[in-house]
């Protein structure tokens, strides 16, 4: 449908007009869909996502202004042109006030129609060109996978370039999703150890009791369950870089040993008296305020000061909104390639929605929202609707689609889901190759919610014959 070119929907009870409009719009490369009345059209608009609708003002059942209002509700960005045999200035003004692009009198003036359709086409082309430009700028301003053209990010790239060859210890701070890990990797790539290993420890994921052995290793028999001697991450990373992610979660008990390892390169396996020397560059990252953690007794200040020899702070996305269009373009392009869909950009209204959001989850959240919006969208250009829907899904862990359909527990099975939503679910399932866990993740809902929705859609529950799904 939409993916092949712009789509025009014509609605008129006179078949002659429909035929004329159809022939004419085809010459301008529009896909044309015709309807001889307004009933059933709104559901179709939801599905078809036309770029422009031509609608007759006077039809037997519903009049054109009502259709216009309804279209604006469903898809505020769709261009609507009204046609009438009885021109009246009042209805024309009313129509334009309601958001119509323009008003044509019958018999149709094809020059004016061409003018209007060309405006629509130009608008689409401009948006696509903008994305193209932003994606190119994003590529040019990319710094080892990190995109940013804001002054804050440019300064940061500059610091990394200058410092990376010299720094041994580094603390990267910033809210969740701001790109701390990307920056850690950039440091590694630009430093003298790019050939060495880059090992990551996620400090929030290690069980307290195993921390010491994880980092420093243990001797066989050092504790119950230590059946083999184990080499710790510090020794593994010798000559390379150890990335301590979420270092604020590190148990207090391990901190003195870590301080010694960072300061002198001395490590000791659990259960061994022997001290080994390693040459490891330590990059730590945290979304917590370690100074405050220190004051509260949850983090040793001496370790904090040692890690903090150099601190790189990543500003939250809401403080560098000028990066949003670039990131958007890059992420849409990435998804288009991955999904093999001709997605080319976002509409102006969608861009505004993205600009105005607070992004508590920062770039990760933006990336996820765009991934979902790309999955939800049928059109070439992501609209405000898909973007807002994708944002809601992200913010309501409890149940995205519930929210999207504005009904928590619809009384009638199946009815509450629009065909567009059925389409979305089917599309996401296809994208996830039928894997329900993956589909639920993409939709931002729990597996159980997904099953509930599949149930409503009349999809068969997966039986034991489909293990792993
Ligand atoms: N400036 C950027 N340009 C492109 N992608 C980015 C940028 N910043 C972050 N990302 C992407 O956002 C996601 C989160 O980044 P990253 O894992 O580095 O964040 P983080 O600060 O480590 O988050 P957390 O504190 O939650 O671990 C990743 O997919 C990363 O590729
Ligand atoms: Mg991280």
* pLDDT score, position 76: 80
Q: What is the CATH number of the domain that holds 375?
A: 1.10.8.60
User: Do residues 347 and 359 share a domain?
Assistant: yes
* pLDDT score, position 457: 66
Q: Is residue 23 situated within a structural domain?
A: yes
Answer with the one of 317, 348, 383 that is the final residue of a domain: 317
User: Do residues 297 and 441 share a domain?
Assistant: no
User: Do residues 305 and 169 share a domain?
Assistant: yes
Does the beta carbon of 394 sit less than 6 angstroms from any atom of ligand 1? no
User: Do residues 49 and 89 share a domain?
Assistant: yes
Contact assessment for residue 45 and residue 74, using Cβ atoms and an 8 Å cutoff: yes
Does the beta carbon of 174 sit less than 6 angstroms from any atom of ligand 1? yes
Answer with the one of 288, 317, 346 that is the final residue of a domain: 317
* pLDDT score, position 431: 76
Contact assessment for residue 75 and residue 385, using Cβ atoms and an 8 Å cutoff: yes
Residue nearest ligand 1's atom 12 by CA: 364
Q: What is the CATH number of the domain that holds 253?
A: 3.40.50.300
User: Do residues 169 and 36 share a domain?
Assistant: no
Residue nearest ligand 1's atom 29 by CA: 364
User: Do residues 78 and 179 share a domain?
Assistant: no
Does the beta carbon of 176 sit less than 6 angstroms from any atom of ligand 1? yes
Cα 63-67-70 angle, rounded to 5 deg: 140
Owning domain of residue 375: 321-457
Q: Is residue 134 situated within a structural domain?
A: no
User: Do residues 239 and 264 share a domain?
Assistant: yes
* pLDDT score, position 218: 94
Give the span between the Cα atoms of 411 and 320, in whole angstroms: 45
User: Do residues 79 and 179 share a domain?
Assistant: no
Give the span between the Cα atoms of 396 and 231, in whole angstroms: 43
User: Do residues 159 and 295 share a domain?
Assistant: yes
Residue 404 C-beta-side C-alpha neighbours within 13 Å: 29
Q: Is residue 116 situated within a structural domain?
A: no
Specify the 3-state DSSP secondary structure of 440. Answer: helix
* pLDDT score, position 420: 57
Q: Is residue 466 situated within a structural domain?
A: no
Answer with the one of 317, 348, 370 that is the final residue of a domain: 317
User: Do residues 367 and 420 share a domain?
Assistant: yes
Q: What is the CATH number of the domain that holds 11?
A: 3.40.50.2300
Per-residue pLDDT of the chain (469 residues; tens, 9 = 90+): 344 578 999 999 999 999 999 999 999 999 999 998 888 787 778 778 889 999 998 887 788 888 888 888 877 888 999 998 876 778 888 888 888 999 898 889 999 999 999 999 998 888 888 888 999 999 998 999 999 999 999 999 999 999 999 988 999 999 999 999 999 999 999 988 888 999 999 998 888 888 899 999 999 988 888 899 999 999 999 999 999 999 999 999 999 999 999 999 999 999 999 999 999 999 999 999 999 999 999 999 999 999 999 999 999 999 999 999 999 999 999 998 888 888 888 988 999 999 999 999 999 999 999 998 988 787 788 988 889 988 987 665 333 344 343 333 332 333 345 555 666 777 778 877 778 888 877 776 667 767 777 776 666 544 433 433 3
What ligand 1 atom has the least distance to the C-alpha of 148? 1
User: Do residues 309 and 358 share a domain?
Assistant: no
Give the span between the Cα atoms of 391 and 372, in whole angstroms: 9
Residue 198 C-beta-side C-alpha neighbours within 13 Å: 18
Q: Is residue 138 situated within a structural domain?
A: no
3-state helix, strand, coil in the chain (%, to 5): 50, 15, 35
Domain count, the chain: 3
Does the beta carbon of 152 sit less than 6 angstroms from any atom of ligand 1? no
User: Do residues 157 and 306 share a domain?
Assistant: yes
Q: Is residue 416 situated within a structural domain?
A: yes
Q: Is residue 378 situated within a structural domain?
A: yes
Ligand nearest to the CA of 287: 1
């Amino acid at each position: 449908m939409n993916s092949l070119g712009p789509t025009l929907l014509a609605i008129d009870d006179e078949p002659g007009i429909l035929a004329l409009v159809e022939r004419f719009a085809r010459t301008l490369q529009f896909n044309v869909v015709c309807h001889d009345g307004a009933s059933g059209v709104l559901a179709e608009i939801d599905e078809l996502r036309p770029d422009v609708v031509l609608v007759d003002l006077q039809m037997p059942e519903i009049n054109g202004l009502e259709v216009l209002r309804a279209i604006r509700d469903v898809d505020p960005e769709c261009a609507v042109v009204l046609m009438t045999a009885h021109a009246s200035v009042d209805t024309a003004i009313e129509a334009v006030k309601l958001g119509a692009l323009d008003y044509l009198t019958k018999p149709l003036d094809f020059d004016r129609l061409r003018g209007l359709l060309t405006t629509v086409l130009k608008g689409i082309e401009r948006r696509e060109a903008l994305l193209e430009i932003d994606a190119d700028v994003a590529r040019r301003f990319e710094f080892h996978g990190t995109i940013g053209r804001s002054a804050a990010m440019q300064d940061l790239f500059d610091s990394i370039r200058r410092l990376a060859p010299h720094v041994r210890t580094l603390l990267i701070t910033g809210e969740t999703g701001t790109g701390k890990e990307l920056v850690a990797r950039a440091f590694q790539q630009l430093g003298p150890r790019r050939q060495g290993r880059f090992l990551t420890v996620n400090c929030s994921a290690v069980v307290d009791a195993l921390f010491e052995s994880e980092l420093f290793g243990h001797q066989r028999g050092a504790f119950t369950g230590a059946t083999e001697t184990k080499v710790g991450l510090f020794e593994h990373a010798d000559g390379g870089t150890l990335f301590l992610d979420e270092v604020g979660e590190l148990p207090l008990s391990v901190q003195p040993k870590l301080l010694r390892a960072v300061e002198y390169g001395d490590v000791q396996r659990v259960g061994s008296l022997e001290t080994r020397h390693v040459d490891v560059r330590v990059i730590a990252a945290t979304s917590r305020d370690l100074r405050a953690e220190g004051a509260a007794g949850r983090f040793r200040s001496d370790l904090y000061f040692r890690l903090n020899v150099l601190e790189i702070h990543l500003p939250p996305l809401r403080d560098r909104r000028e990066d949003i269009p670039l990131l958007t373009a890059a992420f849409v392009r990435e998804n288009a390639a991955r999904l093999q869909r001709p997605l080319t950009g976002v509409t102006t209204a969608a861009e505004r929605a993205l600009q105005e959001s607070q992004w508590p989850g920062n770039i990760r959240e933006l990336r996820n929202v765009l991934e979902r919006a790309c999955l939800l969208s049928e059109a070439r250009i992501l609209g405000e609707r898909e973007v807002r829907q994708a944002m809601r899904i992200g913010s309501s862990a409890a149940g995205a689609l519930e929210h999207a359909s504005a009904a928590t527990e619809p009384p009638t099975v199946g009815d509450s889901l629009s065909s567009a939503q059925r389409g979305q679910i089917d599309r996401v399932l296809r994208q996830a190759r039928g894997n329900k866990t993956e589909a639920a993740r993409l939709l931002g809902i729990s597996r159980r919610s997904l099953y509930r929705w599949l149930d409503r859609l009349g999809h068969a529950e997966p039986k034991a014959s489909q293990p792993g799904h």
